[in-house]
Amino acid sequence: MDRIAIVTGSDRGMGKETALALANKHYSVIMACIDIPTANCACDEIKAASGNSNVFVYKLDLSSIASIKQFVQSFLQDFDRVNILINNAGIITMDYEITEDGFERIMAVNTIGPYILTKLLVPYFRLGEDNRIINMSSWIHTFGKFSIAKINKYHYVKAYSVSKYAQLLISLELADELKEKGITVNAVNPGTVRTRIMITNIWLYDFIINILMAPLYIEPKEGAQTGIYVATSDEVKDKTGNFYRKCKPVAVSKRFNNRALRTELLQYYETIEKSLEINRSSSRITAPAFP
């Protein structure tokens, strides 16, 4: 029986390369994307390149609780389990925007949405199988010091770095929580990947960014390799709670592996999750308020 892998944001860039690699390895691949026309074109290309017809596109907008719930419902109408979840999708935007659910948009897409998606899917990872969750973090997490009380106040690069730091911290927490369920959780630093994510459409910013970052850029195919490795290699089958770079685990310094902040972040996410459970008949969840 084919193993089933969900890859968010797999219509282009690293996500598309990841979906192609999994299709080549004969996984059934679920492309969870917001841009359906682009995703459908990418899906056709992946099927043609891999010879694997079990590649499917589903609508998913990680900034919307309603969309996340609808994605899970649609997925479960067609599949009875999941083996791999790769939370790849990510954004950065110049604009400060609050989503309909009350979250800063970058935080919503990069870490809050993936957490909710993960928790909704956890019951469908079967005990006794090789189950893996891979979360995309980044080296930029080192600029992501944050306060929970201000988590939805940051914007642009600061919000992006906070979201990637939060994704690393919550990965470490979920690894502890889900270990007994037979699910591994690991975070990945893909490197500085040449993708559309850093395009602001403000020519001066884009020009400066490209000049500064050009020596560091790697192509999406190379950037995807660590995530693919952690998702599929037998070498990491039972490894959990690690941070990978260039297919190797790297230590998270004590400065950034703050236990108190990890606990506080988990409690914040659990408040959101609790609201979701209480309001299952409603698509509207409001961000927790702070005194």
What tens digit of pLDDT does each residue of 103-147 get?
Answer: 999 999 999 999 999 999 999 999 989 999 999 987 677 677 888
Residue 156 confidence (pLDDT): 86
Query: Residue 289 — pLDDT band, cuts 50, 70, 90?
Result: low
268 labelled catalytic: no
- Of the listed 27, 160, 229, 244, which one is catalytic? 160
Residues with Cβ within 8 Å of 199's Cβ and at least 6 positions away in sequence, in order, are 206
Task: Please tell me the predicted confidence (pLDDT) of residue 291.
Answer: 37
pLDDT in tens, 21-37: 999 999 999 999 999 99
Confidence (pLDDT) at 232: 97
The pLDDT tens digits for 235-288 are: 999 999 999 999 999 998 787 888 899 999 999 999 998 887 645 545 555 566
- Residue 214: CB atoms within 10 A of its CB come to 10
Each residue's pLDDT tens digit, 83-111 = 999 999 999 888 899 999 999 999 999 99
